[in-house]
Structure formats: structure tokens, C-alpha cells
């Protein structure tokens, strides 16, 4: 039997390749809002990040999230994303 292929994605915080199911997807939707996508199926430009605080901090501090989503993220948006991710 063939083994099932596990989709891998890179965390924008630590730059490590991990299985897609271990990461959280953040999406910039067509109308320009930033949302957390728990299903991984929302349409829009997405970026993956680990669930730990260090990766979230690095991604926002070094503007990696802004570059990945091709959207200027304000400090308020970054704080709300951190709150949502830490509560989930």
C-alpha cells in the first residue's frame, strides 16, 4: 500500500516546515480583512503560523506577516491577531 502524502507548510515565524494540520492559517480576504481560518478553506491570500507565542511575535515584529499577506498590517491588527491566536 502507498503511504498517504502529508501536506507540508512553512511557518512564517520560525521558518520551519511542518504538517499543515499543526499550523494556523491567517487569510487576507478579497475585501481586505484579515481573519484566522480554522478550516483552511477560505478564499484569499494565506499564511501559516505555529500556535506558539514566539512565532507569532517574530512574524509580526519582523513584518513577515505583512509580506506574506501582501497587506500592511497595523499594530492594532497585530494585537488582535495575537489575542485570537492565544485564546484558541
* Euclidean distance between CA atoms 50 and 72, whole angstroms: 21
For the stretch 10-58, pLDDT in tens is 999 999 999 999 999 999 999 989 999 989 899 999 999 998 889 988 9
Confidence of residue 88 (pLDDT cuts 50, 70, 90): low
For the stretch 53-83, pLDDT in tens is 899 889 989 999 999 999 998 888 888 888 8
Q: Which three cell numbers stand for residue 23?
A: 499550523
Superfamily of domain 8-87 in CATH is YlxR-like (3.30.1230.10)
Q: Are the C-beta atoms of 31 and 44 separated by less than 8 Å?
A: no
The pLDDT score that the predictor gives to residue 82 is: 83
* Euclidean distance between CA atoms 75 and 88, whole angstroms: 20
pTM here is 0.87
* Euclidean distance between CA atoms 60 and 57, whole angstroms: 5
1, pLDDT greater than 80: no
Strand partners, 17: 10
Choose between 1 and 65: higher pLDDT: 65
Q: Are the C-beta atoms of 56 and 13 separated by less than 8 Å?
A: yes
How many C-beta neighbours within 10 Å does residue 57 have? 13
Amino acid at each position: 500500500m502507498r503511504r498517504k502524502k502529508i501536506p507540508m507548510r512553512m511557518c512564517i515565524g520560525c521558518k520551519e516546515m511542518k504538517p499543515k494540520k499543526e499550523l494556523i492559517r491567517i487569510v487576507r480576504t478579497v475585501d481586505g480583512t484579515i481573519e484566522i481560518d480554522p478550516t483552511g478553506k477560505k478564499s484569499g491570500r494565506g499564511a501559516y503560523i505555529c500556535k506558539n507565542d514566539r512565532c507569532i511575535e517574530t512574524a509580526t515584529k519582523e513584518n513577515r506577516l505583512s509580506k506574506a499577506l501582501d497587506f500592511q498590517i497595523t499594530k492594532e491588527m497585530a494585537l488582535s491577531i495575537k489575542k485570537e491566536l492565544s485564546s484558541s
